[in-house]
Structure 1
Amino acid sequence: MLDTPNTPAGPDRLDTPEHRRPGAILFVCGMNAIRSPIAEALARALLPSGIYIASAGVKRGERDAFVDAVLEEESLNLGRRQPQTLDDLEDDYFDLVVTLSPEAHHAALELTRSSAVEVLYWPTPDPTGTTGTREQILDAYRDVRDRLKRHIIDRFVAR
């Protein structure tokens, strides 16, 4: 289940310009199959519903059953959502683009070159190269999920 940190009374660190919550966030990775859909699902659960959140890939990928498994552990799911590319996005206006792989970062910088969109790079490992037992592979996916959750909480959730 998703846990959010207690928010003690006092100044909200999101009041500083570099930590304001954007109105629209796009998470981008290589194929929109693992890292960016996990980030999208976590952000939807952790952030206020008024924030528009989407994800896409540089190339088209295929849905990954391990993603469904590690999201289910957090009582989350992707529903019928399928991987999409940047070209598939219905809306292309975002205040913030968070990239999760070098390829995605390069594409996002190119895409936003002439606009005032903030681009953040959160290097996130690709768990698909993990070998071993099902549990070892799931642990690699859990690591990705937990890293992204920490990033989202640290960047967007008031403490």
Structure 2
Amino acid sequence: MAVALEEPAKIPKSILFICGMNAIRSPMAEALARSMLPPGTYIASAGVRPGERDPFVDVVMEEIDLSLGKRLPQTLDELEDDFFDLIITLAPEAHHAALELTRSNAVEVVYWPTLDPTVVAGTREQILSAYREVRNHLAVLIEQRLLRKNGVKAETA
């Protein structure tokens, strides 16, 4: 008896990352995903509420040679496109907002619990360490959940 092999799922063609204010977690995830996923994958990020750019994000992204460029935080209402194959939420309020937003759409919404590094107090180095932890956590999730399970080999630096 022949056994049918499952084909690996394809990487979604469009991915939206959502967090609270689109200032830390979701823009980090967007930049990381752009650097890791195949060209042609549409990747965006947004927040539930308006936010302001966080300079610690720029510092920890520059450490791995990535940049947000001139990108500013945006809310879900400000998105140019509103159809995505996959929405990844990084905070509880973002997950609730995404479920509400997609109530009548057939879109996959996935929750990746991710620490808010702004809750960490201490020295500049301790704060940066928390931001690095978030950056590295997101990179691992993107690699494990979007690349490996989809049969795409991640490049190593």
TM-score (norm 2): 0.89
Separation in structure 2 between the aligned mates of residue 37 and residue 111 of structure 1, nearest angstrom: 20
Determine what percentage of the aligned residue pairs are the same residue: 67
1:30 aligns with 2:25: no
1:59 aligns with 2:59: no
Q: What's the counterpart of residue 16 of structure 1?
A: 8
1:148 aligns with 2:138: yes
The runs of at least 4 consecutive aligned structure 1 residues that moved more than 3 Å come to: none
Output the aligned Cα RMSD.
1.1
Q: What's the counterpart of residue 6 of structure 1?
A: none
Q: Superposition pairs for residues 1-159 of structure 1, below 5 Å?
A: 15-17=7-9, 20-157=10-147, 158-159=152-153
Segments of 5+ residues of structure 2 without an aligned counterpart are: 1-5
Number of corresponding residues: 144
Deviation digits for residues 88-119 of structure 1 (CA, Å, limit 9, x no counterpart)? 00011100000000000000000011011000
Segments of 5+ residues of structure 1 without an aligned counterpart are: 1-12
AA paired with 2:118? T
Larger Rg: 2
